[in-house]
């Protein structure tokens, strides 16, 4: 079975090469594998580097979407891929299991009714405190989405695969979504079409997160914004089970405060989505309001963060 790996990327040369090297080491027959690296913007130098470094080990093609945004790249990759199965990996991931792609194929053969199959992230050794907390929040959300194992409501966008027929039916990522949650939006639409999602804990990929404090807060805010936007569109149940990361027993007091701040920022994002919908204004004025409002909220949240006693280390700025 031919398989296509789609990698959206923008400005991450080192992590992209780390991922490509791990794909090069996969045990799958290389004749059954194509890799599509999709740049947001053209980078002739990096394209040449990829060709020279991986031309012998990988059937690798570089595409350019011409627009900023991961979903433009995802959309283009889906349209160009030739495989029966399409695997989407983020450019800050690494395949630590050399049999990962073979396992993906086996699972799709074992579960012909599964339109999408994905797994969790794992953290590399040496991950910092912010990365550890965000990873646990993400994992809790993912595991809480499983309703009748192995079937689930959600999968993460950087470790997921789809059968070709999904795209042949005209379904794809919404490239207009800029604030995160595009994979959740996509998966909700798949389920509205009667398609099923499968979660496999065996399909782990290493996620090399590098988050500052501000990025942590911003991500929570935008995830809340995306969540409420889907509620307003009827794609998301407002009281759907969400992550309950405080149930994790090993949190330190500082980590509990970080989790509390995440949830506060998430709820602020939801509130902003509700308020912005009620603004009767021209699109340009609404855009200016959005920019100012989000900036003010994020600055306030960052000030709150400064009062949390915190371990120094990776991503602690």
Cross-strand partners of 198? 117, 151
pLDDT over 90 at 230, yes or no? no
Smallest CA-to-CA distance from 73 within 44, 43, 42, 39 is with 39
pLDDT over 70 at 309, yes or no? no
Report, as an integer, the average pLDDT of 197-226: 89
Task: Give the pLDDT confidence of 244-280 residue by residue, as tens digits.
Answer: 454 555 778 778 888 888 888 888 888 888 887 765 5
**CA dist., res. 162 & res. 270, Å (int):** 29
Task: Give the pLDDT confidence of 82-133 residue by residue, as tens digits.
Answer: 999 999 999 999 999 999 999 999 999 999 999 999 999 999 988 888 899 9
The chain-wide mean pLDDT, for the chain, equals: 85
SS (H, E, C) 214-229: HHHHHHHHHHHHHHHH
Tokens 């100012």, residue located: 292
Per-residue confidence at 287, pLDDT binned at 50, 70, 90? Answer: very low
Q: Are 151 and 54 in contact (CB under 8 A)?
A: no
Sheet holding 151-152, edge to edge: 60-64, 33-39, 3-9, 85-89, 159-163, 114-118, 196-199, 151-152, 146-148
Task: Give the pLDDT confidence of 15-53 residue by residue, as tens digits.
Answer: 999 999 999 999 999 999 999 999 999 999 999 999 999
Q: In the prediction, which pLDDT does 295 show?
A: 62
Count CB-CB contacts under 10 A for residue 184: 23
Task: Give the pLDDT confidence of 122-172 residue by residue, as tens digits.
Answer: 999 888 888 999 999 888 888 888 988 899 999 999 999 999 999 999 999
- Domains of the chain, each with CATH number or no CATH: 1-119+155-210 (3.90.550.10), 212-317 (no CATH)
Tokens representing 298?
């994020």
Tokens 């499983």, residue located: 146
Is residue 77 exposed (0-12), middle (13-18) or buried (19+ Cβ within 10 Å)? Answer: buried
**How far does Cα 302 stand from its chain's mean position?**
23
The 3-state DSSP class for residue 105 equals helix
pLDDT over 60 at 73, yes or no? yes
Q: What is the DSSP string of 3-41?
A: EEEEEEESS-HHHHHHHHHHHHT--S-GGGEEEEEEESS
């Amino acid at each position: 079975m031919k398989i296509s790996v789609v990698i959206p990327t923008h400005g991450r040369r080192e992590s992209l090469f780390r991922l490509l090297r791990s794909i090069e080491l996969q045990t799958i027959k290389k004749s059954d594998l194509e890799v599509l690296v999709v740049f947001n913007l053209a980078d002739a130098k990096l394209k040449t580097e990829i060709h020279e470094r991986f031309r012998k080990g990988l059937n690798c093609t570089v595409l350019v979407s011409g627009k900023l945004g991961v979903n433009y790249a995802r959309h283009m990759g889906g349209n160009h891929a030739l495989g029966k199965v399409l695997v989407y990996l983020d450019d800050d991931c690494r395949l630590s299991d050399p049999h990962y792609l073979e396992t993906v194929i086996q699972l799709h053969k074992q579960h012909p009714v599964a339109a999408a199959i994905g797994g969790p992230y794992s953290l590399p050794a040496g991950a910092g405190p912010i990365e550890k907390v965000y990873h646990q929040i993400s994992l809790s959300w993912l595991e809480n989405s499983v309703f009748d194992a192995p079937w689930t409501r959600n999968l993460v966008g950087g470790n997921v695969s789809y059968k070709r027929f999904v795209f042949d039916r005209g379904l794809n990522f919404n490239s207009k979504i800029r604030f995160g949650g595009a994979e959740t939006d996509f998966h909700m639409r798949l389920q509205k079409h009667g398609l099923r999602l499968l979660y496999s804990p065996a399909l782990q990929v290493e996620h090399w997160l590098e988050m500052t404090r501000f990025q942590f807060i911003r991500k929570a805010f935008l995830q809340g914004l995306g969540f409420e936007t889907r509620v307003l569109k009827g794609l998301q149940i407002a009281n759907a089970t969400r992550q309950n990361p405080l149930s994790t027993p090993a949190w330190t007091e500082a980590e509990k405060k970080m989790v509390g701040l995440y949830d506060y920022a998430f709820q602020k994002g939801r509130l902003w989505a509700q308020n912005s919908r009620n603004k009767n204004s021209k699109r340009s004025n609404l855009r200016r309001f959005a920019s100012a409002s989000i900036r003010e909220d994020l600055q306030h949240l960052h000030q709150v963060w400064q009062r949390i006693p915190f371990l120094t280390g990776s991503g602690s700025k």
